[in-house]
Amino acid sequence: MGPLTGFKILEFAGLGPAPHCCMLLSDLGAEVITIDRQTQGKHPSGTGVGNRFDVWKRGRKSVALNLKAPGAVETCLKLAETADALVEGFRPGVMERLGLGPEPCLRANPKLVYGRMTGWGQTGPLSGAAGHDINYIALSGALHSIGRAGEKPVPPLNLVGDFGGGSLYLAFGLVSALLETKGSGKGQVVDVAMTDGSASLMSMFYGLRGAGVMDGARGTNLLDGGAPFYDTYETADGKWVAIGSLEPQFYALLRDKAGLAEDIWDHQMEAQNWPALKEKLEDVFKTKTRDEWCALMEGSDVCFAPVLSIEEAPLHPHNVARGTFTEVEGVTQPAPAPRFSRTPGIVQGPPPEIGADTVQVLNQWGLSEQEIETLKESQAI
């Protein structure tokens, strides 16, 4: 019984962060119903490797509709009448052309929170253009800041735009609007753009830039790999470790455990020495294997961790102890987060097969047997 138990979310299947947002809501107890297209093959918002591996589709039920068939749009509006929130991730104007934009949906349910997920936003000169995570974080200033000194910017998977600046902000926006609706009795539209979200994630760095503490050259600053005490290092066995010994007391412990006794290490924040110190640290860390460094530093205040692969991470004792990962139908995947003391989240089920729950959901959400038969006859379902 997660903290969102009792909330009903109507999701229109799409690509990118909208499905991930709905996974988060489902993990915390919300009932999520996905409106899928009647289609064969891979799920339109999936990876193409099989439904059970589309982890971000877990924990909801699937209703397959042909939105061009008679009665389909009216069915969606009827479902919206009893939903608390609606989530869509299409380009601006698509839902309006379907007859399912905010105006008719809020007319059907004045308390509805209507969540919209796009890359560029609902307005602005780029709003109608195609794009991906890499484009959105390029525009916000995030991509320019990630990479090694003197080298090109490095895409950080699609974590910063799609999921960090997209799905997390959509989830936050939906829950915030749902809280407001409790008092006002009125719904509203939540316009989430990955450009906005990734810019928001960069707030601290814009502040550091304004203060003159962070310059525009990537890979030369305190938190971007420029500092020798905040970086990754290769070990003797070709694996990697990460250190983040920022504070003086943590830096002193790093020096002690790594044997960094020379005077050149005394002046931690003198950036002109960083390249030379980094070369020295590279040689130091290559003297031991990753396991040997773990035995020496892990669990100490050095601020140390081994750099684990996706295969290794679920097996680490800390992750095992906390239950950070779980298994659903043989697929290892992250467990629900964050943690709640009284109303913990839970994975409500594996990713559904398209249309597996159509009749059941329509019946439970208020359609009569006759209405469902009419939809079958029109091939809407």
The per-residue DSSP string of 214-225 comes to S-SSTTSSTTTT
pLDDT tier at 49, thresholds 50, 70, 90: low
The yes-or-no answer on residue 54 being catalytic is no
Overall average pLDDT of the 236-264 stretch: 97
Closest by CA to 95, choosing from 17, 162, 13, is 13
Check whether 84 has a pLDDT greater than 80.
Answer: yes
| Residues 133 and 163 sit within 8 Å (Cβ to Cβ) | no
Overall average pLDDT of the 93-114 stretch: 98
Q: What is the pLDDT of residue 138?
A: 98
- From the candidates 27, 84, 133, 162, give the one annotated as an active-site residue: 162
Overall average pLDDT of the 358-364 stretch: 95
d(CA 224, CA 372): 57
Q: What is the pLDDT of residue 51?
A: 77
For every residue of 224-238, DSSP letters joined together read: TT-STTEEEEE-TTS
d(CA 24, CA 170): 10
Residue 352 to residues 67, 72, 335, Cα–Cα distance (Å): 20, 21, 18
Give the single-character DSSP code of 144: G
Of all residues in the chain, the percent with pLDDT exceeding 70 is 97
The yes-or-no answer on residue 132 being catalytic is yes
- Domains present along the chain, CATH in parentheses: 8-201+326-377 (3.40.50.10540), 230-234+240-306 (3.30.1540.10)
Mean pLDDT of the chain: 95
Of all residues in the chain, the percent with pLDDT exceeding 90 is 93
pTM for the whole thing?
Answer: 0.94
Q: What is the pLDDT of residue 47?
A: 57
Half-sphere exposure of 269 (CA within 13 A, CB side): 4
Quick check: helix, strand or coil at residue 94? helix
For every residue of 273-336, DSSP letters joined together read: GHHHHHHHHHHHHTTS-HHHHHHHHTTSTT-EEE---TTTGGGSHHHHHHT-EEEETTEEEEPP
Overall average pLDDT of the 39-58 stretch: 68
